[in-house]
Amino acid sequence: MESLNYITSCRTEESAGHDRVWAQIDMDAVLYNMESMRNHIRQETQIIAVLKTNAYGHGAAAIMRELEKVPYVWGYAAATYEEAKELRNQGARKPILLLGYVFPYCYRDLAHSEIRPAVFREDMLAQLSQAAAAEGKPVCVHVALDTGMGRIGVQPDDSGLAFVKKAINTPGVIVEGMFTHFAKADEEDAAPTKRQIALYEGFRDRIREELGYDIPICHCSNSAGIIAFPQANMDAVRAGITLYGLWPSDEVSRTAVPLRPVMSLYSHIVYIKDAGPGVSVSYGGTFTTTKEKTRIATIPVGYGDGYPRSLSGKGYVLICGQKAPILGRVCMDQMMVDVTDIPDAHEGSLCTLIGRDGGCGITMEELGDLSGRFNYELACDINSRVPRIVCGGSLG
């Protein structure tokens, strides 16, 4: 597993004129977003912080360390065993839940490392039971219930009930939780999510009545559910994108839960040249200058860092609080922008790729739209070549 080095101080333009690229992670914004969600949900409801894909590209270890101290954070959710293990290695003491299928090679360590798998296949129960016996330690599991996502999970019917009964009676397996996942909570039409909630509640009640078992931790909501469906705040909610100050979609309310973006992405101008008319810029010469004089700045960032190549000729960056459009194709490690109208731009000037500069800002959402992607995807794609620089928070 990669282990990023976190530098827990903020850089400023003055001190860092030579930095190629860095993602600034504002830990105060993480804590603000957590409090904001906390203020919007029932006080008894705990939050599971979703830290999969290296915390949506924000750096899971540093965020986990900050959230260890937040009392209403029940634990973390990861997508894979390796992500969960890395969180443990980095010092996570709270419970860790795995949201997808977990392969049998790691079942013994799940018991040992107290990592909770989602269960929904019968063969998992017998194999987890064996692993628990071998470790001499039980495995806590969360039943995945499919109420309309159509991805993983048992059905909320007799077959699902038989599965839950079997899970409850499997030696070494403790049914600690049950969750479902909303497919459309970020859309304006609330009816499909209400149907999912009703299916979940009906099934939970059947478990209580027919099996005499009260599932300790019931959880349904993702970020969109936290914002829009207070009735789905059960024992816990799973906060992903909102933790990072980003929006699940543009159909959810922007006022119910105020958020602050956590990641900003910065670079510096490394070269400036003046070009006359007829000069072609970057691979394929998709842009050619026409003006008498064009001032072209080279930025040492490209798709090799996860900055989308689809922003070629479409995106822009901020320099001196002004927009500088991308000229021609984004290369793997460099790109060119137009600074003709930004006379103060010079070699070494700060360049904001995501974030605010003076009165201007570029959000992950806007860049997602411009690049034909999705804000979640764009954040996840900022890769390990980009150092994460943490500022704020109690460790900073």
Ligand X SMILES: *Cc1c(COP(=O)(O)O)cnc(C)c1O
Instruction: Provide, rounded to whole angstroms, the least separation between the CB of residue 362 and ligand X.
Output: 21
From 52, 76, 81, 303, active-site residue: 52
Instruction: Provide, rounded to whole angstroms, the least separation between the CB of residue 50 and ligand X.
Output: 4
Site mask for ligand X (CB under 6 A), range 241-260, x = bound? x------x------------
Residues 317-346 touching ligand X, rule: CB under 6 A, are none
As given in the structure block, the two tokens for residue 300 are 């040492």
**Only segment of 37-45, 201-209, 236-244, 354-362 that touches ligand X (CB under 6 A):** 236-244
Q: Which of 240, 308, 328, 355 binds ligand X (CB under 6 A)?
A: 240
Name, in order, each residue with C-beta under 8 angstroms of 56's C-beta and a sequence gap of 6 or more: 240, 241, 244, 246, 376, 379, 380
Q: Which of 222, 267, 289, 312 binds ligand X (CB under 6 A)?
A: 222
Instruction: Provide, rounded to whole angstroms, the least separation between the CB of residue 181 and ligand X.
Output: 4
Confirm or reject binding of residue 223 to ligand X (CB under 6 A): yes
Residues 139 and 144: their CA atoms lie apart, in Å, by 15
CB atoms within 10 A of CB 83: 22
Instruction: Provide, rounded to whole angstroms, the least separation between the CB of residue 241 and ligand X.
Output: 4
Confirm or reject binding of residue 50 to ligand X (CB under 6 A): yes
Active site residue 6: no
Residues 145-184 touching ligand X, rule: CB under 6 A, are 181
Name which of 160 and 240 has its Cβ closer to ligand X: 240
Size of the site for ligand X (CB under 6 A): 12
Name which of 192 and 321 has its Cβ closer to ligand X: 192
From 271, 273, 283, 314, active-site residue: 283
**Only segment of 234-242, 273-281, 300-308, 314-322 that touches ligand X (CB under 6 A):** 234-242
Instruction: Provide, rounded to whole angstroms, the least separation between the CB of residue 310 and ligand X.
Output: 22
Site mask for ligand X (CB under 6 A), range 272-301, x = bound? ------------------------------
**Only segment of 12-20, 237-245, 279-287, 327-335 that touches ligand X (CB under 6 A):** 237-245
Residue number of the CB closest to ligand X reads: 240
**Only segment of 240-248, 272-280, 303-311, 338-346 that touches ligand X (CB under 6 A):** 240-248
Amino acid at 129: S
**Only segment of 28-36, 232-240, 272-280, 341-349 that touches ligand X (CB under 6 A):** 232-240
Name which of 110 and 336 has its Cβ closer to ligand X: 110
Confirm or reject binding of residue 45 to ligand X (CB under 6 A): no
Active site residue 52: yes
Torsion on CA atoms 159, 162, 163, 164, rounded to nearest 10: 120
Residues 345-374 touching ligand X, rule: CB under 6 A, are none
Q: Are 357 and 20 in contact, with CB atoms under 8 Å apart?
A: no
Q: Are 342 and 322 in contact, with CB atoms under 8 Å apart?
A: yes
Name which of 78 and 125 has its Cβ closer to ligand X: 78
Active site residue ranges: 52, 283
Provide the binding-site residues for ligand X, judged by CB under 6 A: 50, 52, 99, 181, 222-224, 238-241, 248
